[in-house]
């Protein structure tokens, strides 16, 4: 479980997850530029975000905080998830 300390979820990862789990295409550059826009402006709904959280939890083998699925923007989400990955909480 050491790799979780090394890994951070990037904008590219998030873009790929949005496409794969929710069918929402936003290229990483756009997502990075508009990281403070609401997920809903990209067409990602609450179930889609739950699916992404579940994917990350399986990938890194840990539970993410409950707030993760309530994040409104990509920036908030990445900050929260990467914070949790750093501390391993």
Partner 1 sequence: MTRRRVAVTGIGVVAPGGIGVPQFWSLLSDGRTATRRISLFDPAGLRSQIAAECDFEASEHGLGLATAQRSDRYVQFALVAAAEAVRDAHLDMDREDPWRAGATLGTAVGGTTRLEHDYVLVSERGARWDVDDRRAEPHLERAFTPATLSSAVAEEFGVHGPVQTVSTGCTSGLDAVGYAYHAVAEGRVDVCLAGAADSPISPITMACFDAIKATSPNNDDPAHASRPFDADRNGFVMGEGAAVLVLEDLEHARARGADVYCEISGYATFGNAYHMTGLTKEGLEMARAIDTALDMAELDGSAIDYVNAHGSGTQQNDRHETAAVKRSLGEHAYNTPMSSIKSMVGHSLGAIGSIELAACVLAMAHQVVPPTANYTTPDPECDLDYVPREARERTLRHVLSVGSGFGGFQSAVVLSASEGALR
Partner 2 sequence: MSGRQRTTGTDRRAVVTGLGVVSPHGVGVEAHWKATADGASSLGPVTREGCERMPLKVAGEVRGFDAAETVEERFLVQTDRFTHFALAAAQFALADARFGRADVDSPYSVGVVTAAGSGGGEFGQRELQNLWGQGSRYVGPYQSIAWFYAASTGQVSIRNDFKGPCGVVAADEAGGLDALAHAALAVRGGTETVVCGATEAPLAPYSIVCQLGYPELSRAGEPERAYRPFTEAACGFAPAEGGAVLVVEEERAALERGADVRATVAGHAATFTGPGRWADSREGLARAVAGALAEADCRPEEVDVVFADALGIPEADRAEALALADALGAHARRVPVTAPKTGTGRAYCAAPVLDVATAVLAMEHGLIPPTPHVSDVCHDLDVVTGRARPAEPRTALVLGRGLMGSNSALVLRQGGTSPS
| Site residues (vs partner 2, CB under 8 A) | 21-25, 43-44, 47-48, 50-51, 54, 57-58
Minimum distance, C-beta of residue 3 to partner 1, in the bound complex (Å): 25
Site string for partner 1, 13-52 (x = CB under 8 A): --------------------------------xxx--xx-
Residue 19 CA, chain-centre distance (Å), reads 12
Q: Which is nearer to partner 2, 25 or 72 (CB)?
A: 25
């Amino acid at each position: 479980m050491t790799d979780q300390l090394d890994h951070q979820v990037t904008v590219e990862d998030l873009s790929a997850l949005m496409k794969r789990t929710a069918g929402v295409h936003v290229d990483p550059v756009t997502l990075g530029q508009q990281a403070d826009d609401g997920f809903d402006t990209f067409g990602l709904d609450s179930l889609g975000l739950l699916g992404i959280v579940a994917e990350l939890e399986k990938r890194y083998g840990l539970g993410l905080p409950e707030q993760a699925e309530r994040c409104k923007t990509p920036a908030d989400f990445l900050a929260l998830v990467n914070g949790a990955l750093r501390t391993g909480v």
